[in-house]
Amino acid sequence: MRHKFPSIKVTAFMALYRLLWLIFMPLVLSYLKRRARREPMYADHLGERFGFGAQRSGDWVWIHAVSLGEFRSAIPLIDALLARGERVVITHFTPAGRGASMDHYSDQIASGKLAVCWIPFDYGLAFRRFFRRFSIRYGLVMEVEFWPGMIMSARAANIPLFLCNGQYPNKSYQRDKHRMLSARDIVPGFAGVMVKSNRMAEPFRELGLDKIAVTGEMRFEQPINQSHIDAAVRVRSHLSERPVLTFASAVKDEDALFIAAIQALKARMPDALIVYVPRKPEHFDRAAELIQAAGLSVARRSVVLNATFELELPLTCDVLLGDSLGEMHFYLALADQVVVGGGFAPQGSHNIIEPLSQGKPTLVGPNTWTIDFPAVEAIEAGVVRQVSSDELADALLDLSEYASADAFMSVMGGSVEKTLDSVSDFMER
């Protein structure tokens, strides 16, 4: 049942919330100053945090992407909006997000088609100034950003604000049920929500929202570096019929398990090539030492391949160590099967979207709470297998239990078009 929004409870809270922003503003500014010691951009364009800035002409579509991950998710959507002739303003909270968007869209910024700025502090006056700078037709908030001031300010200004590529993580939702005031009370203030799956829609339905669309996951539409794919094809041509298995984003707590599984695999498939890609650069040397100590020959990507991925030495080793950053598409494209790291350690699994986007059969460990979506859906669809530590060795390069990724990708793909169609539909209702 849809309840009246805002409730008396929310109205009373917002009065207190605005007061707290005034009281604690010196602490907020102190926090930014401390962060600026390590990341100077935190201190740049401080006026934007209060909503100040040059007036912009024309109508704008506003996209809020709090940091780098959300910005990357939004790229296909931003590109589609620009292709339609829209002016787009992107807001961020972190330098990582702002820096990436300014680099990626430097030409569009120069031409005046796109603007990048800090998200205003979460109180009404700052947002009113921001809304005066840009004539906002509607706003799209990426992923999980339930800021009361932002939502209420948009409503007060009659600006439709939509949650995009959205989710309300189950852990948070269940926790919030027991709180007197939580995101549950604020979320109904969105003009509509576009969520990743039917399962992700349930919390919003329970909260009484009547504008909900299942639009899939935008990260499946992030561009894949084609030069990396082409390079992988060239390298595979030098491997004869060797099967290839990639361990992606392995964390140090998994080294012993993964190396033991590799040894078991090599005992039955001596010609298999293992691509081992540690999560962090500081893990490269240690991983190489452990692999060698296990009696496996190892070659580093930085030694056997040049900058354009041409082989400098024959790839006759047991293990190719991926000691580089930003080349995961290459390492994944090499593989017949991918093991995604993190899930065999307490910290939880890393991203499975990149291997699935390439249609790779993918293995994950027991701890997938960090990627609840799309892990649940992918496991149910049979394109990802979840195994225990004891089952891992037997599952390596056993491709017999995987379903084709085509049906799964047809559901998850097309998110940008579905999102823009949903926005149009919501605004017409």
pLDDT of residue 35 exceeding 60, the answer is: yes
Q: Fill in the DSSP letter of residue 2.
A: P
Compute the average pLDDT of residues 134-143: 97
Q: Fill in the DSSP letter of residue 344.
A: T
Q: What is the pLDDT of residue 2?
A: 56
Q: Fill in the DSSP letter of residue 311.
A: B
- Cα separation, 360 vs 338, whole angstroms: 7
- Cα separation, 150 vs 223, whole angstroms: 30
- H-only helix segments in 346-428: 353-357, 372-381, 392-395, 406-412, 415-428
For 208-254, give the DSSP string: T-S-EEE---GGGGSPP-HHHHHHHHHHHTTSTT--EEEEEEE-GGG
Distances in whole angstroms, Cα of residue 185 to Cα of each of 181, 345, 350, 388: 6, 35, 31, 39
Q: What is the pLDDT of residue 321?
A: 98
261-310 pLDDT per residue, tens: 999 999 999 999 999 999 999 999 999 999 999 999 999 999 999 999 99
90-105 pLDDT per residue, tens: 999 999 999 999 999 9
pLDDT confidence bin for 186, thresholds 50/70/90: very high
pLDDT of residue 403 exceeding 60, the answer is: yes
Beta strand extents in 113-170 (DSSP E only) = 114-118, 135-142, 161-166
Q: What is the pLDDT of residue 169?
A: 83
Compute the average pLDDT of residues 359-386: 95
Q: What is the pLDDT of residue 406?
A: 84
- Catalytic residue numbers read 70
Strand, coil or helix: 90: strand
pLDDT confidence bin for 3, thresholds 50/70/90: low
Quick check: 411 and 198 in contact, CB under 8 A? no
pLDDT of residue 1 exceeding 70, the answer is: no
pTM of the model: 0.85
CATH numbers and ranges of domains, the chain: 8-14+39-216+415-428 (3.40.50.11720), 226-411 (3.40.50.2000)
- Cα separation, 61 vs 51, whole angstroms: 17
Q: Which amino acid is at 326?
A: G
